[in-house]
């Protein structure tokens, strides 16, 4: 048994070394190819600003409200805005933010990391646009994507975060730090991602921002709340997925106890197994919309629901932005940074964690230290009854109307 453990450990170490070698080879190759664009002398169109936000849907929701703060600031109020954004949230940005940001450059982050021609085409467009200022608010910068965009932009001013080492090794950060003309240092006491964005924009614009909260106001004429819950059982990371059978039990509870039906949402990566699909079909009060809705349609459904029950994913942030009671099942991944909304930002979001966290004697800061960069806790250790108890307490407080 011990020999098997040693063998597995050795194989894992070899795998990690090979992955690091591949990552290094890719970074060096892209760095050299990107450098060819630097031979062309940059132009600078006055009062043009490129904002880089090439991460996920949830990240954008936690940032988008600060676009207005940028637009109203003395420093950038007369600028023409372009957003270099991820295709993942394209519908959202076009629907809500096209008045502030009239132009977009959409990026497929996976292609950016793998396809040389695609990368070259995007980078050439950015270089030839001649932006005067480039702004990269991303705290956990990525050398392959956002840092490289800043590098080839040719802008006079290149502003970014000092950030952390989640996606960059120290030597990588040292290299790309030199591409920036200004690096903003976020206070170590600022943990939650929304507040990191607030501090960054406040320092960039040199203004004191009032207390923002994420918002996605309704674009519909309908205002009456329907009697259903939105359920999101999916997640990009498998370790953040609570079992579907557990979600079904929660949906059973909502219907039998409170008469609330459920609508399940998600994309193609969240499709249930054949067995789960059959079980869902036997529940007439459950509507399965996984891989059937656009992002905009998902937002509309959430805007009209009574409550949201979700894994720690973008749907939980959409629920907050639409001012719904939100119940998040989390294994503790990115504790403090993306979970545990500060009460002053939003106070109707509740969390179910593994017993290791819920029974811990550690304080908030100590838990953040342990889990803000990742968690190996098993989400399956969260009981159905624990989730039901959290929901029921919210009903008793009349948080769910």
Give the model confidence (pLDDT) of 128-173 as tens digits. Answer: 999 999 999 999 999 889 999 999 999 999 999 999 988 888 888 9
Same domain, 272 and 150: no
Place of tokens 């800061």: 365
Top pLDDT among 91 and 400 is at: 91
**Is 1 a residue whose pLDDT tops 60?**
no
Are residues 168 and 113 both part of a single domain?
Answer: yes
Mean pLDDT, residues 28-39 taken together: 74
Among 205, 240, 256, identify where a domain stops.
Answer: 205
Kindly state whether residue 219 falls inside one of the protein's structural domains.
no
Torsion over CA: 94, 74, 320, 361 (sign)? positive
* Residues 240, 192 share a domain: no
Specify whether 151 is located in the same domain as 68.
Answer: yes
124, 37 Cβ separation under 8 angstroms: yes
How many angstroms separate the Cα of 76 from the Cα of each of 196, 392, 401? 20, 47, 41
- State yes or no: pLDDT of 11 exceeds 70: no
Question: Span 261-276, mean pLDDT?
Answer: 91
> What's the chain's average pLDDT?
90
Question: Is residue 217 in some structural domain?
Answer: no
Q: For residue 171, is it within any domain?
A: yes
In a domain? residue 1: no
What pLDDT, on a 0 to 100 scale, did the predictor assign at position 271?
87
List the alpha helices (DSSP H) in 272-360: 274-281, 295-303, 314-321, 355-358
The CATH number that applies at residue 161 is: 3.40.50.2000
Task: Specify the range with the lowest mean pLDDT, choosing from 54-68, 112-126, 340-354, 363-377.
Answer: 112-126
Kindly tell me if the per-residue pLDDT of 197 is higher than 70. Answer: yes
The answer to whether residue 295 scores a pLDDT higher than 80 is yes
200 & 254 share domain: no
Q: Helix, strand or coil for residue 263?
A: strand
Are 134 and 256 found together in one domain? no
Rg, the chain, Cα only: 22
Q: Is the pLDDT of residue 222 over 60?
A: yes
Give all strands (DSSP E) within 241-383, no chain letters.
261-264, 286-288, 307-311, 326-329, 349-352
Domain identity same for 201 and 322:
no
> Do 199 and 249 reside in the same domain of the chain?
no
Given a contact cutoff of 8 angstroms between Cβ atoms, the answer to whether 204 and 283 are in contact is no
Q: For residue 239, what are the domain limits?
A: 228-396
Task: Write down the pLDDT at residue 207.
Answer: 87
Residue 179 and residue 301 share a domain: no
User: In Å, what is the CA distance from 318 to each residue of 55, 58, 214, 291?
Assistant: 16, 8, 9, 17
Longest dimension (CA), the chain: 68
Residues 49 and 168 in one domain: yes
pLDDT band at 400; cut points 50, 70, 90: confident
DSSP state of 109: H
Residue 273 to residue 252: CA distance in whole angstroms: 19
């Amino acid at each position: 048994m011990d020999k098997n453990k040693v063998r597995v450990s050795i194989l894992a170490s070899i795998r990690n070394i090979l992955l690091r070698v591949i990552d290094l080879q890719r970074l060096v190759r892209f760095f050299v190819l990107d450098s060819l664009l630097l031979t062309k002398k940059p132009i600078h169109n006055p009062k043009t600003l490129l904002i880089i936000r090439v991460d996920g849907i949830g990240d954008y929701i936690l940032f988008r409200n600060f676009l207005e703060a940028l637009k109203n600031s003395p420093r950038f109020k007369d600028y023409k805005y372009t957003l270099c954004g991820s295709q993942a949230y394209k519908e959202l940005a076009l629907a809500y933010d096209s008045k502030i940001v009239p132009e977009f450059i959409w990026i497929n982050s996976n292609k950016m990391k793998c396809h040389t021609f695609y990368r070259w085409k995007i980078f050439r467009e950015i270089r030839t646009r001649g932006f005067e200022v480039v702004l990269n608010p991303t705290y956990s910068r990525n050398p392959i994507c956002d840092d490289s965009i800043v590098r080839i932009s040719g802008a006079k001013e290149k502003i970014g975060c000092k950030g952390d080492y989640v996606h960059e090794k120290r030597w990588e950060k040292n290299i790309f730090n030199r591409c920036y003309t200004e690096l903003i240092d976020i206070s170590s006491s600022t943990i939650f991602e929304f507040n990191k964005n607030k501090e960054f924009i406040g320092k960039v614009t040199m203004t004191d921002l009032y207390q923002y909260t994420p918002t996605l106001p309704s674009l519909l004429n309908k205002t009456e709340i329907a009697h259903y819950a939105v359920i999101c059982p999916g997640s990009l990371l498998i370790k953040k997925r609570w079992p579907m059978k557990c979600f079904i039990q929660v949906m059973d509870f909502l219907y039998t106890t409170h008469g609330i039906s459920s609508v399940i949402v998600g994309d193609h990566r969240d499709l249930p197994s054949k067995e789960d699909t059959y079980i869902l079909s036997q529940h007439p009060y459950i509507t399965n919309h996984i891989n059937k809705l656009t992002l905009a349609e998902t937002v509309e459904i959430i805007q009209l629901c009574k409550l949201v029950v979700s894994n720690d994913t973008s749907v939980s942030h959409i629920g907050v932005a639409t001012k719904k009671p939100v119940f998040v099942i989390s294994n503790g991944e990115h504790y403090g940074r993306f979970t545990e909304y500060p009460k002053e930002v939003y106070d109707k979001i509740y969390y179910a964690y593994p017993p290791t966290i819920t029974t811990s004697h550690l304080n908030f800061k100590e838990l953040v230290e342990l889990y803000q960069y990742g968690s190996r806790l098993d989400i399956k250790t969260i009981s159905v009854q624990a989730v039901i108890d959290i929901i029921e307490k919210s009903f008793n407080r009349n948080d769910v109307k």
